[in-house]
Amino acid sequence: MVHAVVIGAGVIGLSAAIRLQEEGHQVIIVARDFPAPFETVDAQLQINYTSPWGGAHNRWVLPANPTEEKEHQMALITYERMMQLQKTQPDAGITPMPGIEYLEAPSPVYTSLTEAKASSLGLAGFRFLRPEEFPDSRVKLGFTYDTWCVNPMVYCSFLLRRFSIRGGKVLKRELRDPAELFSLKELGRVDVVVNCSGNGFQDENVFITRGQTCLVTNYCPATVTRQNADGSWTFSVPRNFDGGTIVGGTKEPNNWDSTPSLAVRKLLLDKFAAAYPPILGKDGKFTVIKDIVGRRPTRKGGMRLERERIHDGKSIIHAYGLGGRGYELSWGVAQGVINLLVEDLQSSKVVAKL
């Protein structure tokens, strides 16, 4: 049995901690922020705690290179786990829903897509939309598939409860370096640290991506994404479980402004209403709950998922920098952590024999 400490109580940290428990290891989560009910979360005060405000859904990204293929496999692992959890734990905050995509200028990886190809990629329920199902003539390609959406505050609280009831412990602490944990006496024995901190601790490749979204009461029966010809996006993520619907579409690298813009809110809502008019309902308008600004920790070159040997034979497993794909890759990344831990244990045995 390994004594592991996981840094971070976002969706990646919580998922990794539970997978470690499932493998029979003893786990402690150390984090600055922990899941809390919607009513108690201050979006601006906890702006660097991304998971409660994430667009928690699965949007299939068709793989066009080896990195995207690896991420697609992680998304498939996550999809299977989410479907299993939804069936066995209806209180987990997961809802199976259709995913709808509209593309104004589809790239070759999309124009070459066939239903047979979609099936081989594991896209259940895939169907091309007919032109009469498009919102307007600018859309050149559309399709739908089976997917899931999550109410992140319900889901992350569920994961933390599951972790706790299985014997997991938590410590609220702000850290300067992952190696610090090997010296904290209150933790006792620490064999390995799993760094799910999001920002990576002074990783020069990590930057924040500002995203403004608007939470509305309007119900949307699907998670809808529209890729516009100018490169911009508009999307909705229904939260369900009385969580409203997120409407978004902004990605602003290295913008640290934490104040929501009313002009951006209007743009987001107008664009999505045009992309999916049924969202307006009988009243023909949005009912806004709040505007939200989040900072997605993004990494040049993609996520960091690797192990690092430090002093005295100790190891740190890094799992961070997923940008806006934390939820949809979460269980796949957690499995990656397990695989790296197995490699680490095997290499330790080899060194011991030598």
Give the residue ranges of the annotated binding site: 50-51, 296, 324
Give the residue ranges of the annotated binding site for D-dopa: 296, 324
Q: Which residues of 5-23 are buried (b: 16+ CB within 10 A; e: fewer)?
A: bbbbbbbbbbbbbbbbbee
Give the residue ranges of the annotated binding site for FAD: 50-51
